[in-house]
Chain A
Amino acid sequence: MTAALAEKTPATPPPAAEVTPPAGNRRRGRERSYDDVPRWQIYVPLGVYLLFTLIPFYWMFLFAVRPAGSTSLAPWPMTGEHFEKVWTERSFAVFFQNSMIVGIATLIATTLVALAGGYALARFDFKIKGAFMLALLCSQFIPGALMLVPLFEIFKNLQMINSLGSVVIAETVFQLPLSIILISGFIKNVPVTLEEAAWVDGCSRFRAFCAVVLPLLRPGLIAVGSFAFVHSWNHFLFALMFLSEQDKQTIPVGLNTLIGADSVDLGALAAGGVIAAVPVVIIFAFIQKWLITGFSAGAVKG
């Protein structure tokens, strides 16, 4: 069985490799004028755009680390006073933990449910398939913000107000349509013959899926999972509405409280912003390569 699998594996789409073509043949040949853009035409606009992207991040970092009252544009002397303040006094330690719980739970729930649904869409023809696809697409037009009232009533009836579970469910539900479409696109890219080979070798459908399809889905799962995490980490209104107790709140709500304070403490606000930004920006920096591969494999063609 393993031998049959090993033989088939090279037939699958190459994962991240496609993003960066081998360096060797880039400069080869005069005729490849499309690739031979004058360097300044790349570096000058890119540099301008990098400034536009990075100055705001730097500004927040600067306000977070420089002492209150300082107007220096350099980040030194550095102080941790603002971080200490938001982390303990403004209970960002609690918010951080809650956001992590919501983010990870949403990631797991979205990935599992979308994997099942995406597999059904990619590998089966069934009666309500068209209707299901249509429902997925239509749900993209429904504004989550405008459904707050009925959702609030549902969670009230389920006695889930002030429980992180309500936010996890709401985030998962609104992540699902896109995640299912993405994952089914990735699964379609895995040749069905690979699975069939495993069935012939005696694997059940489930085992064949776990052993053959799942490893090849890794870039897709990373893309979908990180989407779900980043979204639920960032999303604001559900947490604002469904979690009224302060020790249940998440980071965006904490930030909003700092913004709305009567006299805005800019140092604390900036420190809170850094705490909110660090996890998602780090995750994003690592996964952006897979995201691009993932999109070109799944979404755009799917």
Chain B
Amino acid sequence: MAQAAAVAKPPKVPRRRSANPRKLPYLLIAPAGLLMVGFIAYPVLSVFYYSLQNYNVTKPWRNGFAGFDNYTKIFTDDDQFWSTLGFSAQWVVTQVSLQLVLGLALALIVNQSFVGRGISRAMVFSPWAVSGVLTSTIWILLYNSSTGFSRYLADAGIGDYGTSVLSDTGTVFWAATVSELWRGVPFFAILILADLQSVSKELYEAASVDGAGRIRQFVHITLPHLRDAIILSTLLRAVWEFNNVDLLYTLTGGGPAGVTTTLPLYVANTGIEGHDFGYASALTTVAFVILLFCSIVYLRLSKFGGDHK
């Protein structure tokens, strides 16, 4: 029927379609734009505004403009800021590098053709769908000192586990690391696998005709091809691992003795439990600036999107 209309009045069709060719894109991004201005841009600005205030719900008499006092305190008089920043760096670097190496290996394996590939993929990727809180739940069950995995190991005569690995300052880092790896590796594996699909098979064929072995093919074909995907996914993951608090909040609560408190977790504790919104906002601003700075440096150093083959 649309065809009939087109035949009857041919000139009308293009006019109707391009009624507002200038306004249409703005109309289309309006919902997203308004939501982001209202619920991202405005809150970001108010975080910065709060950071210049004394704003503590429990001490309302002190509230008011504070200038840069909050910032001065962070850099001169807050050991916890530096220790949580240090732990954040340790956490992000450990997570991202291990996730990348394991994820790459996993992607290369499940990119091969073998019997049972579909089901294996679905299974090894499944932790990706699991939340931080659920990951904590699962690993709390595994790490539990009286009924967990270690108990069965001890019963079998392998090792001696008196306390939970989560309450020992010496083991808690690796315990938390393993549980985060469990759900983080699939993220890399999926992204890398997606990119592996687009490597031209002819390249490998040509290379093997020329006598290049699998390792040389990997170094000279696969890795260069994956370059941008790897740079981008490590950056996204690093930002995410830095910002996310779900897992550590529920798995260790930042403990024992504060050794697993990341900077965002420290901010959340200061703001939500300590009600010191002004100081928490200043910490937030500092965290954001550090993150942005590191990201820009990283993209520059890695020459993202640069000329390569």
Contact = CB atoms under 8 A, between A and B. Distances in A.
A60 B141 contact: yes
Interface string B117-141: 1101111111111111110111111
A71 B154 CA distance: 14
A280 interface: yes
A23 B229 CA distance: 27
A59 B35 contact: no
A42 B3 CA distance: 56
Contact of B47 (A129, A139, A147, A177): A147
B31 interface: yes
Contacts of A26: 113
Given A56-B138, A141-B239, A277-B130, A154 B109 contact: no
Interface stretch (B59-67, B71-79, B168-176, B243-251): B243-251
Contacts of A295: 190-191, 194-195
A290 to B, nearest CB: 11
Interface in A250-273: 252, 255-256, 258-259, 264, 266, 269-270, 272-273
B268 A145 contact: yes
Nearest to B240: A140
Contact of A56 (B114, B182, B291): B182
B219 interface: no
Contacts of A266: 141, 144, 147
Given A150-B43, A201-B6, A295-B191, A234 B133 contact: yes
A173 B39 contact: yes
Contact of A203 (B2, B40, B132, B204): B2
A19 B197 contact: yes
Given A145-B243, A237-B245, A259-B137, A285 B114 contact: no
Interface in A224-281: 230, 233-237, 241, 252, 255-256, 258-259, 264, 266, 269-270, 272-273, 276-277, 280-281
Contacts of B5: 202
B287 A281 contact: no
Interface in A142-158: 142-151, 153-154
A49 B141 contact: no
Contacts of B147: 63, 71, 266
Nearest to B152: A73
B214 interface: yes
Given A34-B204, A237-B245, A280-B130, A143 B287 contact: yes
B98 interface: no
B301 interface: no
Contacts of A114: 32
A75 interface: no
Contacts of B130: 234, 277, 280-281
B124 A281 contact: no
A162 interface: no
Contacts of B24: 120, 124, 205
Contact of B123 (A54, A60, A144): A54
B137 to A, nearest CB: 4
Which applies to chain B's interface (DSSP): helix, strand, loop or mixed? helix
Contact of A117 (B29, B105, B120, B268): B29
A170 B21 CA distance: 32
A222 interface: no
A151 B38 CA distance: 10
Nearest to B206: A31
A143 B243 contact: yes
A79 interface: no
Given A42-B109, A148-B271, A59 B2 contact: no
Nearest to A259: B250
Given A256-B250, A280-B129, A288-B125, A45 B105 contact: yes
Contacts of A144: 243
Contact of A33 (B129, B182, B214): B214
Given A151-B43, A285-B122, 10 more contacts: A42-B112, A60-B137, A117-B29, A140-B239, A144-B243, A234-B134, A235-B131, A236-B132, A252-B133, A255-B136
24 contacts: A56-B127, A56-B182, A59-B142, A60-B141, A114-B32, A116-B29, A146-B264, A149-B277, A154-B43, A173-B39, A204-B16, A234-B133, A236-B132, A236-B246, A237-B246, A252-B246, A258-B137, A259-B137, A273-B138, A283-B129, A284-B129, A288-B121, A295-B194, A299-B194
